[in-house]
Amino acid sequence: MPGKILIVDDEVHIRMLLEQTLEELEEDCGVTILSAQNGEEGLALIRSEKPDVVFLDIMMPKLNGYEVCQHVKEDPAITGIGIVLLTAKGQEVDRRQGLDLGAARYMTKPFDPDEVLRVARELLGIAD
């Protein structure tokens, strides 16, 4: 059962790196990969495309990752989405806030591509 992954990050090189990391799932499993460059665009795609997994940066223009998480958590039409906050904010207080807002995972940059792939597979229910 292929799914959809949305990457939301305002840094183009991070989006590209994540797309390259996840392209194995696209090629081998038929997963669709979408991307957005800010929180507002990301939230619009979440509402229209209903991805299964969202890799979401926190520090972005328009809406930050916490705000996007909050919107997803409060909207019954878009529940069940696995949000992975992927950020440079490594403090425990930041991690706790993200998880409290409904994120399934909290990962810090720089990220390990193998870990990103593992988390995506896990949240999509795709065996290694």
Q: How confident is the model at residue 54 (pLDDT cuts 50, 70, 90)?
A: very high
Instruction: Collect all residues with Cβ–Cβ distance below 8 Å to 10 and sequence separation of at least 6.
Output: 37, 38, 57, 59, 60, 61
Domain count, the chain: 1
Determine which helix (DSSP H) or strand (DSSP E) holds 47, and give its type and residue range: helix 39-49
Determine which helix (DSSP H) or strand (DSSP E) holds 1, and give its type and residue range: none
**pLDDT at residue number 127:** 79
**pLDDT at residue number 90:** 83
| Residue 115: domain span | 4-124
- Check which CATH number belongs to the domain holding 40 and give it: 3.40.50.2300
Residues in the chain: 128
Burial class of residue 72 (count of CB atoms within 10 Å of its CB; 0-12, 13-18, 19+) = buried
Q: How confident is the model at residue 1 (pLDDT cuts 50, 70, 90)?
A: low
pLDDT surpasses 70 at 48: yes
Task: Dump pLDDT digits (tens) for 68-121.
Answer: 999 999 999 998 899 999 988 888 999 999 999 999 999 999 999 999 999 999
**pLDDT at residue number 3:** 94
